[in-house]
């Protein structure tokens, strides 16, 4: 059952429906091994197409390359093999078609929430349009009554909402989220999940979400990608691709999701015992 949220815009004149495809083709990434003349493979032969407007969650154990894959998609890192394209053209460094949200809101403490959101606006626009866009985005995430507050005057969940609005200010064709709710308490995390779905309905961009939370992935994503080690300790690649059925918001307690949860936990090497306890 969805938790109550502040009223959101059903549609905005400035928040558009731009959404791009993302395609990884034989993607690999390795790093030099310290004090050795060899390299360590982090990602290997990742091939995947993400459709425009799709929400895809990326799961996997720590160190499997989830964040590296996200950084490559946004042009913050480069692959050592293969390629990645957005809307059919190669990703460029710090690709302007993408926006990234992190686990920490990373707000400037001396600026108001509106001013922090305005930092995400593309350069070259008019000030009048910029003010209107910021006001609409602040409303979209339910923070109109707090637009003049500074980050130290609001909660962690409100700060993360502000960070999401700042990312959307770029009008991204691809929204990259790296464990955006991982630092929040359980109740706020559920509310933020519901908020992300509300925002996606209002402005259905393509979303790549890195998470450690299987339930979060099943609640939000159209597909869940499980990364892990390849055969003979090869670099991490795609181990499972799970399509999640059902219209969002989904029933968190459904038997269908429970079955998929068990499947993904098994892929993560977690055994589920009759007592309901999970063990690595």
For 26-38, write each residue's pLDDT tens digit.
999 988 777 666 6
Which of 58, 91, 65, 162 has the alpha carbon at shortest distance from 120? Answer: 162
Which of 242, 205, 235 has the alpha carbon at shortest distance from 58? Answer: 242
Q: Is residue 16 part of a domain?
A: no
How many domains are contained in the chain?
1
**pLDDT given at position 2:** 38
pTM of the model: 0.87
* pLDDT tens, position by position, 119-148: 999 887 778 888 999 999 999 899 999 999
Domain that holds residue 176: 22-269
**pLDDT given at position 35:** 65
Q: Is residue 275 part of a domain?
A: no
Confidence of residue 4 (pLDDT cuts 50, 70, 90): very low
Confidence of residue 1 (pLDDT cuts 50, 70, 90): very low
Q: Is residue 3 part of a domain?
A: no
Can you tell me whether residue 85 is helix, strand or coil? strand
Structure tokens belonging to residue 106? 């990373």
Task: Give Cα 181 to chain centroid, integer Å.
Answer: 10
Q: Is residue 274 part of a domain?
A: no
Buried b (16+ CB within 10 A) or exposed e, 222-245: bbbbbbbeeeeeebbbbbbebebe
Q: Is residue 121 part of a domain?
A: yes
> How far is the CA of 217 from the CAs of 101, 122, 194, 238, 270, in angstroms?
16, 30, 12, 16, 16
* pLDDT tens, position by position, 42-89: 898 999 999 999 999 999 988 889 999 999 999 999 999 999 999 999
For the domain that residue 241 is a member of, what is the CATH number?
Answer: 3.40.50.300
């Amino acid at each position: 059952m969805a938790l109550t949220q502040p009223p959101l815009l059903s549609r905005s004149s400035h928040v558009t429906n731009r959404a791009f495809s993302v395609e990884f083709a034989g993607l690999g990434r390795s790093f030099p091994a310290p004090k050795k003349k060899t390299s360590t493979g982090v990602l290997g032969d990742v091939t995947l197409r993400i459709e425009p407007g799709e929400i895809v969650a990326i799961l996997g154990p720590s160190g499997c390359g989830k964040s590296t894959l996200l950084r490559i998609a946004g042009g913050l890192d480069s692959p050592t093999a293969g390629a990645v394209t957005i809307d059919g053209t190669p990703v460029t460094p710090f690709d302007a078609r993408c926006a990234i949200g992190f686990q920490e809101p990373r707000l400037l403490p001396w600026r108001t929430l509106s001013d922090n959101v305005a930092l995400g606006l593309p350069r070259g626009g008019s000030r009048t349009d910029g003010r209107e866009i910021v006001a609409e985005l602040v409303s979209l995430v339910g923070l109109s009554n707090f637009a003049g507050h500074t980050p130290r005057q609001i909660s962690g969940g409100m700060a993360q909402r502000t960070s999401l609005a700042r990312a959307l200010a770029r009008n991204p064709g691809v929204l990259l989220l790296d464990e955006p709710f991982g630092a929040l308490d359980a109740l706020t995390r559920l509310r933020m999940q519901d908020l992300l779905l509300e925002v996606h309905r209002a402005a259905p961009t393509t979303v790549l979400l890195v998470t450690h939370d299987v339930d979060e992935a099943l609640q939000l994503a159209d597909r869940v990608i499980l990364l892990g080690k390849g055969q003979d300790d090869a670099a991490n690649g795609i181990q499972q691709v799970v399509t999640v059925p059902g219209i969002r918001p989904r029933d968190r307690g459904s038997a269908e999701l429970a079955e998929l949860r068990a499947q993904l936990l098994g892929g993560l090497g977690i055994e589920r015992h009759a007592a309901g306890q999970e063990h690595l």
